[in-house]
Every structure is written in C-alpha cells, then in structure tokens.
C-alpha cells in the first residue's frame, strides 16, 4: 500500500472543488432528466429516478480502452458481491463486445469474493464492505486494491396506513432509537419532532431487517454506527449484526414484503429496489441539517461531499457525508485486485478492464439504477489502477497517458 499513497499526494482535492462538483451534479439533476419522475403514481411518495449527467473529467479517461490489446489475457474470472451483479453482468457483456475479453462474474456474496481473492483463486473480487486490515494481511499475493465501481444507497421504508401519501422525515436520532428498540411507538416525540404538523398513530413499531448477510445491511449499520456510539458498542458494523429488536427477512424483497404485510412496520431496502417497486420511503436528515429525498443524484453528491476526507486506498465509508445535497445513507461497492500481477497477460487484462469499468462503463450505472462514482474518486481510482505492477515491477496498464 506504500506506492499508491505517495502517488496520490499530488492529486488531493480541496473541499471547495468537491463541493462545486456536488452542486453541479445537483443542478443538472434537477433539469430535464428528472422529468419522468412526475409520472409515478400519487399513492406512493414519488421517487425521482435521476440519471447523473455524464461528466467531463471521466470523459477524459474514457475511450482509452476501446478495442482488444495484443498480449492480454482473453478471459478473466471474478466473484463476489451480489448487490452490483446486475450492473457487472451488463458491463462485462459490453466489455466483451468492445475488447473480446470474456469476463466471468459469479455473484457469490461479498464474503465469498473476499475469500476467493485472498486465496487467489480468482482474478478479481468484488465486495460491498471494504476488507479489514486483518483480511488484507491474510491475502496470499500481497496488497489488494479497492476500486470503487458504483454507489449504493439504503432507504427507510415504512407502512403506516394513516399517513396516506405523506412522506415521513427521519433524523439520525429517530432511526437509531427505532432500531435499538428504544423508540417503540410511532407517536414518540423524537419522531414527531422531525414531522411537525403530522398526526402519528399511537401504535407499536415493528422493525424489519435483513436476515441474510448483506451489503445493504452494511451500509445501513455503517450509518447507524457513525451517528450513534450506542449502536456502535451494542450492535456494531458488519454485513450481518446482532439486531437488538425486530423481524428478519431474506433479501430486499423479503424486507419489502414484510413491511407491506405488517401495518406499522419499518425496514430498510436498497435505493434501486425502492425506486423500481415504488415503495414509500422516508427523507433522512443529513449532516448539514437538510432532509434529503433519496435518489441517485443525492447519492453521488454524498460521495463527492465525502471525497475530501477519503483515504488514499479508497477503503472508505461515505455515510453521513458533508454537503447540503448529500443523502446520508450510502456507500461504495468495490472491485478488488492484487497490486502485483505476476502474470503479465492477466495484469494487462485486469488493469484495462478496471480502467474501462471506472470510466467508460459508468454511463451504464444510471440506467440500471446504480449511482455513478463521482469524478474526484475516479481520479483516485486511476492512480490505484496505474500503481498495479506486473513481473519486474513494470506498470501493468499498457496504455500511454499524457503526463503519467
């Protein structure tokens, strides 16, 4: 991990520029791209499905990987996270058309992805929760790099028949209180505080969480632990935790089904899942004190808002990010690759695929419901990809870049 650190010093962004990017994204997000959102049925609070605009910085790196390259491996094997599996299958399908390199991706879960890359039984891994220092140390072939591939967000969804179409607002305090089992009724003053003028029922809250280990849970509890010390000490952070209260259900569909069936239930689901199924979702108060409607632009804004505090290895959490427009419950999903690629042909193929994934492929994200990685982060990913070496310490990425 030494060399990327050194390389990255030159490209650290200041806060102002990160914020400018966030603002820019938001402005354009409110433009014509947002129009289809108005067609959502009025019964469920409308979730605008906004495609973040194509960005110029990323465009600069696009188009470098546009055809096959002599001497690169013609097949790559990857495995890991299930959350981005739909996106990856689209990506790699396109990638084969562009370069003729076949990339097999098996969505076996983040845990499996980490295990497989550590044992070096696959060429690249994928995970929703960053590898721990311990896991990194245990990896067979040396340092592993985390390359952000897309962004996910998790939203609170609830079922309160009395509310009709009104959207609830949540603060960090009310969400942690509910999931710790300390807030047990919907008319609790803590919830009412965020929702002035709304009549909340005097009913018991039923909380629903994921029963299977999941990146969705990771992002959710990452938020809860970052805003509440009590949560951190009691339940902690992981893809599955020891829940103080509530029902467990398998998958996004299980949680959504459970919430739909049980009046006065609250659960959390992947943003994309909520958009596609037009679930009623709550607004969440961010660090800047704004109640943010969850959508893709607000997620990209969060990543941009967090960019200035990002560790050079990109193993970062972006929950509760700075920025007026940032949605606070979001996180990256990463591709994992070894920094030292012994096999030259494989090294070429992997770096080229990673480069394509972080640049050209990002345009597929929005149409499939994933937020694109913001430019500042892509810039850092570039440095990481360029730091990948092959036998003899040579740079594995075969293309010449101006000035690098």
Partner 1 sequence: MDLASSEATRVAQRQGPTPVIGGGTNVGDRIFHLAVLSAAQSVLVLLAALVVLLFIDAKEALGRFGLSFLTTTDWDPVFEKFGTAHFVFGTLVTSLVALVLAAPLAIGTALFLAEYAPRWLREPVAFVIELLAVIPSIIFGLWGFFVLAPIMRGYVEPFLKATVGQVPVLGELFSGPAIGKDLLTAGVVLAIMILPTVMAIAREVVRSVPDTQREGMIGLGATKWETITGAVLPYARSGLVGAVMLGFARAFGETMAVTMVIGNSSNVISASLLTPGYTMASAIANQFTEADKEIYFSAVVAVALVLLLVSVIINGLARLLVWRGAGNVATRR
Q: For partner 1, what does the binding mask look like between residues 337 and 376, x meaning CB under 8 A?
A: ----------------------------------------
Q: Is 404 exposed, middle or buried (0-12, 13-18, 19+ CB in 10 A)?
A: exposed
Residue 247 interacting with partner 1 (CB under 8 A) = yes
For partner 1, the closer CB: 242 or 400: 242
Give the containing element (helix H, strand E) for 341.
Answer: strand 340-341
Nearest approach, Cβ of residue 117 and partner 1 (Å):
11
User: Would you call 188 helix, strand, or coil by DSSP?
Assistant: coil
**Listed residue (225, 148, 215) closest to 383, CA to CA:** 148
For partner 1, the closer CB: 258 or 376: 258
Q: In angstroms, rounded to a whole number, what is the distance separating the alpha carbons of residues 178 and 84?
A: 29
Residue in 188, 212, 230, 343 binding partner 1, rule: CB under 8 A: 212
CB atoms within 10 A of CB 366: 21
Nearest approach, Cβ of residue 190 and partner 1 (Å):
22
**Listed residue (215, 225, 210) closest to 370, CA to CA:** 215
Q: Which stretch binds partner 1 (CB under 8 A): 47-55, 249-257, 319-327, 394-402?
A: 249-257
User: Would you call 330 helix, strand, or coil by DSSP?
Assistant: strand
Residue in 74, 75, 236, 401 binding partner 1, rule: CB under 8 A: 236
Per CB under 8 A, which of residues 95..154 are in contact with partner 1? 108-112, 114-115, 127, 129, 135
Nearest approach, Cβ of residue 46 and partner 1 (Å):
27
Q: Which residue has the tokens 């013609």?
A: 74
Residue in 13, 47, 50, 206 binding partner 1, rule: CB under 8 A: 206
Q: Which stretch binds partner 1 (CB under 8 A): 28-36, 85-93, 239-247, 380-388?
A: 239-247
Q: Which stretch binds partner 1 (CB under 8 A): 1-9, 174-182, 203-211, 282-290?
A: 203-211
Q: In angstroms, rounded to a whole number, what is the distance separating the alpha carbons of residues 139 and 253?
A: 34
**Listed residue (338, 365, 374) closest to 91, CA to CA:** 365
Residue in 5, 93, 187, 261 binding partner 1, rule: CB under 8 A: 261
Residue 255 interacting with partner 1 (CB under 8 A) = no
For partner 1, the closer CB: 52 or 246: 246
Nearest approach, Cβ of residue 134 and partner 1 (Å):
8
Nearest approach, Cβ of residue 306 and partner 1 (Å):
23
Which contacts (CB < 8 Å, 24+ apart) does range 70-74 have?
71/344, 71/345, 71/348, 71/398, 72/101, 72/345, 72/348, 72/349, 72/352, 72/398, 73/101, 73/343, 73/345, 73/346, 73/348, 73/349, 74/100, 74/101, 74/102, 74/349
Residue in 94, 213, 230, 277 binding partner 1, rule: CB under 8 A: 213
Nearest approach, Cβ of residue 180 and partner 1 (Å):
14
Both tokens assigned to 404? 């690098």
Q: In angstroms, rounded to a whole number, what is the distance separating the alpha carbons of residues 22 and 78?
A: 32
Nearest approach, Cβ of residue 114 and partner 1 (Å):
5
Question: Where does residue 237 fall: left (phi above 0), alpha (psi -120 to 50 degrees), or beta otherwise?
Answer: beta
Task: Give every CB contact of residue 29 below 8 A, 6+ residues apart in sequence.
Answer: 50, 52, 53, 295, 296, 297
Residue 298 interacting with partner 1 (CB under 8 A) = no
Residue 246 interacting with partner 1 (CB under 8 A) = yes
Query: Could you tell me whether strands 75-80 and 124-127 are parallel, antiparallel, or unpaired per DSSP bridges?
Result: parallel
Nearest approach, Cβ of residue 120 and partner 1 (Å):
16
Residue 85 interacting with partner 1 (CB under 8 A) = no
Q: In angstroms, rounded to a whole number, what is the distance separating the alpha carbons of residues 113 and 82?
A: 10
User: Would you call 346 helix, strand, or coil by DSSP?
Assistant: helix
Residue 201 interacting with partner 1 (CB under 8 A) = no
Residue in 191, 237, 256, 299 binding partner 1, rule: CB under 8 A: 237
For partner 1, the closer CB: 25 or 79: 79
Q: Which stretch binds partner 1 (CB under 8 A): 23-31, 204-212, 318-326, 381-389?
A: 204-212
Sites of contact with partner 1 (CB under 8 A): 82, 108-112, 114-115, 127, 129, 135, 204, 206, 209, 211-215, 235-243, 246-250, 254, 257-258, 261-262
């Amino acid at each position: 991990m030494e060399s990327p650190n050194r390389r990255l010093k030159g490209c650290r962004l200041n806060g102002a520029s990160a914020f400018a990017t966030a603002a820019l994204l938001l402005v354009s997000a409110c433009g014509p791209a947002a129009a289809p959102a108005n067609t959502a049925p009025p019964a469920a609070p409308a979730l605008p499905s906004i495609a973040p605009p194509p960005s110029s910085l990323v465009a600069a790196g696009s188009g470098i990987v546009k055809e096959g390259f002599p001497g690169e491996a013609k097949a790559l094997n990857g495995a890991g996270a299930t959350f981005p599996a739909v996106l990856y299958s689209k990506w790699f399908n396109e990638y084969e058309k562009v370069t003729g390199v076949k990339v097999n991706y098996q969505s076996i879960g983040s845990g499996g992805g980490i295990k497989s890359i550590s044992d070096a039984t696959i060429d690249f891994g994928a995970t929703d929760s960053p590898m721990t220092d311990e896991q990194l140390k245990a990896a067979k072939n040396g340092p592993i790099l985390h390359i952000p591939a897309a962004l996910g967000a998790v939203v609170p969804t609830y079922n309160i028949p009395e509310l009709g179409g009104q959207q609830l607002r949540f603060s960090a305090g009310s969400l942690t209180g509910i999931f710790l089992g300390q807030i047990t009724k919907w008319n609790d003053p803590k919830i009412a505080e965020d929702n002035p003028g709304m009549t909340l029922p005097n009913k018991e809250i039923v909380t629903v969480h994921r029963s299977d280990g999941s990146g969705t849970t990771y992002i959710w509890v990452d938020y809860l632990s970052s805003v509440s010390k009590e949560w951190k000490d009691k339940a902690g952070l992981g893809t599955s935790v020891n829940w103080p209260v509530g029902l467990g259900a398998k998958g996004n569909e299980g949680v959504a089904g459970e919430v739909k069936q049980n009046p006065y239930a609250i659960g959390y689901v992947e943003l994309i899942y909520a958009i596609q199924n037009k679930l009623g979702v709550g607004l969440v108060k961010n660090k800047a004190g704004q109640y943010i409607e969850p959508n893709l632009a607000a997620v990209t804004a969060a990543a941009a808002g967090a960019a200035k505090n990002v560790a050079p290895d990109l193993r970062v959490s972006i929950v509760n990010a700075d920025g007026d427009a940032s949605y606070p419950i979001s996180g990256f999903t990463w591709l994992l690759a070894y920094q030292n690629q012994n096999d030259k042909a494989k090294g070429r193929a992997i770096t080229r695929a990673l480069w394509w994934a972080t640049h050209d492929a990002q345009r597929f994200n929005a149409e499939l419901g994933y937020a694109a990685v913001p430019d500042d982060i892509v810039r850092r990913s570039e440095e990481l990809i360029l730091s990948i070496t092959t036998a003899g310490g040579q740079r594995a990425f075969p293309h010449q870049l101006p000035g690098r």
